[in-house]
Structure 1
Amino acid sequence: MDLEIRHLRVVRAIAEEGSLTRAATALHMTQPGLSAQLRRIETMLGGTLFDRRQEGTVPTPFGELVLGRARAILPGIDGLLADTARAARRMSAADRIRIGSVGAPLLGHLLLAVKAFLPEADLTSRCQYSPFALLDDLAAGRLEAAVLGDHPDEQLPQRDGVTLHPIATEPVFALLPATHPLAAHDEVSLPELLDEDWAVPRPDGDRTREYWASVCALTGRTPSAPYEAEGRQLIEIIRAGLAVSLCQATFIETPGIAIRPLTGNPLWYRHLLAWRQDGPLTSYETEILRRVTTGYQTTCTSSPAYTHWQHLNPTTPGRQRPHP
């Protein structure tokens, strides 16, 4: 893991709040997730940054060194981001639409909606694993819109100048080798899944891994995760029968792969659209949201596993909450 600006912001927030709990609230993180991230930062830097005392979390001498540098660096970074945001907004126009996306079933629907209202626009897109990086790009004016995603207790923070539009909240499903005995069941319990080896995304790309771990910890267990992979590599590990994992409910089932709901719906994923409040898409906000939401619902009906889950859970709180 390489040191990033957001890691310095984490260290500064802990020092300013004087408590991991208060810092987690300020950063819109869970306390266990923040603690895990702090441990990784300390491992990367090579020393303990904070002591936990009765009066609160206090920087160590090593932590004071890091904090001094962070406090010197961050104002310059914030100024740079503000200046580039203003410059990017001056260069941006309705004929230049840059869209970012995490791995989610909304990007195609969003691109089609933008094309419908701005057919002459120079429309481009790029994908990235971390929604936090995309949100930073939106705030800095490097994107006009983005498809984002987050989890309960790990929700994306509000950013000045950016509007977040929740599209739907859906359950997280189990991802299994098609030959696995659990694939013969209509649904899989999380404790059963924890008996297997897991393939998981890398830490810090987003907070997915921390969210999974925090929910698994409620069972008194943590997943054995010898395989760290994303995208095609993760699918190949599962298809080979080496591991299990988790996925979005709308994940496309491919040969050799089985998707099954989790008993009791312990994990959830929220889909969002975001765009700049001063950008060219704001004028078409209502219609774009309607078209993307309709497209998402069509995608849901093409997923046998999700369709079956919806049939069995017609009134489950939080299920597929479309934007009004």
Structure 2
Amino acid sequence: MDLEVRHLRVVCAIAESGSLTRAAASLRMTQPGVSAQLRRIERMLGGALFERRRAGIAPTALGELVLTRSRAILPSIDGLLADTARAAGSQSAPNRIRLGSVGAPLLGHLILAVRELLPEAEVTTRCQYSPLPLLDDLAADRLEAAILGDNPGRELQPRDGVILQPLVMEPVFALLPATHPLAADEEVSLTRLLKEEWAVPRPEGDRTREYWSSIFALTGEHPHTPYEAEGRQLIEVVRAGLAVSLCQATFIEVPGVVVRPLAGNPLWYRHVLAWHPDGPLAARGDEILRRVRDGYLATSAASPVYARWRQHHPHLARRPT
């Protein structure tokens, strides 16, 4: 078997996600399928590309070499594919709309807006934890629009051919076990929270962890972060009473966890809608933006804690984006 471009994508996906399970999700493959693919690639290249560590998997020296070459090659290949598809007149066909999203409560509203405005379109979606792969997909014409997110002072960098339109800025809230003493408070002091053990998402290119750390440093406290998890796994660690964490203001409480505002609103998160200026959604961009913003307001009202915060902070609830 010869080495192919798809093999390089598998290796990069494993390195970027830090685990075979997450890589499988991003590649839309099964975990056993990714494992088998990796074994075949390693046999072709003559050695192990990754090694298992407590925090996940990490590249070996051979893996670093392969990753360096792959990351140099793949953007050129993606650009070639996008250019030839555009030249052939098949790129961004009006009846096919590909959407992406980070972990935000706005994807459903974006899908509904596109379906209502373009009822004949076939809508597909792809989700990522970090906004950067989605931004890459937008720039390479692999997506027509996406919901992204960033933080103050660490905003997403503009890309050629991609419009970045802020949707709303919202506060970041505390995520606590329901049995935690701080759960009885209406709002939580960040300084007090930093004395607990934390569950945090793994470092990503979106600079979220970097932003959190910069705000934490202002308090003089440095949290102990023994648990690294994302999504459902992070919630389960908090639910078990093992740690505290942070979440979006629109997070809906589930049994075993509670959401509380942070006193003084020290951390913020910005939702961003991105699309192509010459794509099939360009003429509808303003209308889609309005509909997604309206959907966000409905989502905010459905979160009792956030709805109450917005009532108590009307000037901040209208904070410009």
TM above 0.5, yes or no, is yes
In 1, Cα distance between equivalents of 2:226 and 2:72: 40
Q: Which residue of 1 aligns with 2:185?
A: 185
Instruction: Find the residue that maps to 2:314 and give its secondary structure.
Output: coil
Give the letter for the 1:86 counterpart.
D
**Deviation digits for residues 130-174 of structure 1, max 9, x if unmatched?**
101100000001111101000011110100000011100000000
Residue 218 of structure 1: SS of its match in structure 2? helix
Instruction: Report SS of the residue matched to 2:116.
Output: helix
The aligned amino acid for 1:111 is: I
Q: Deviations over 1:210-243 (max 9, x none)?
A: 2111110111122111111111111111111000
**Identical aligned residues as a percent:** 61
Match of 1:82 among 68, 79, 82: 79
CA RMSD of aligned residues (A): 2.6
1:1-324 paired onto structure 2 within 5 Å:
76-89=73-86, 90-91=89-90, 92-204=92-204, 206-316=206-316, 319-321=317-319
Q: 1:264 to 1:252 in 2, by over 3 A?
A: same
- Taking a change above 3 Å as real, the CA distance of residues 75 and 208 of structure 1, as seen in their structure-2 partners, is closer
Contact 2:12 2:70 in 1 (8 A): no
Range with bigger deviation, 81-90 or 262-271: 81-90
CA distance in 1 between counterparts of 2:129 and 2:85 reads 23
What are the ranges of 5 or more consecutive residues in structure 1 without an aligned counterpart?
8-42, 47-65
Task: Give the residue type in structure 1 aligned to 2:227.
Answer: Y
Q: Deviation at 1:84?
A: 2.2
TM-score (norm 2): 0.76
Query: With structure 1 as the length reference, what TM-score do the two structures score?
Result: 0.75
Aligned residues: 265
- Provide the C-alpha distance between the structure 1 equivalents of 2:250 and 2:76, rounded to a whole number of angstroms: 40
Q: Verify the 8 A CA contact 2:173 2:246 in the aligned structure 1.
A: yes
Unaligned runs of 5+ in 2: 1-10, 17-57
Query: Given that residues 12 and 71 in structure 2 are in contact (C-alpha distance below 8 angstroms), is that contact kept between their aligned partners in structure 1?
Result: no
Deviation string 1:100-142 (CA, Å, 9 cap, x unpaired) is 1101011000000000111111110011101011000000011
- Once the two structures are superposed, residues 189-211 of structure 1 have per-residue CA deviations (whole angstroms, 9 ceiling, x without a partner) of 11110110000001126321121
- Pick closer, same or farther for the CA change 1:320–1:134 going to 2, 3 Å: farther
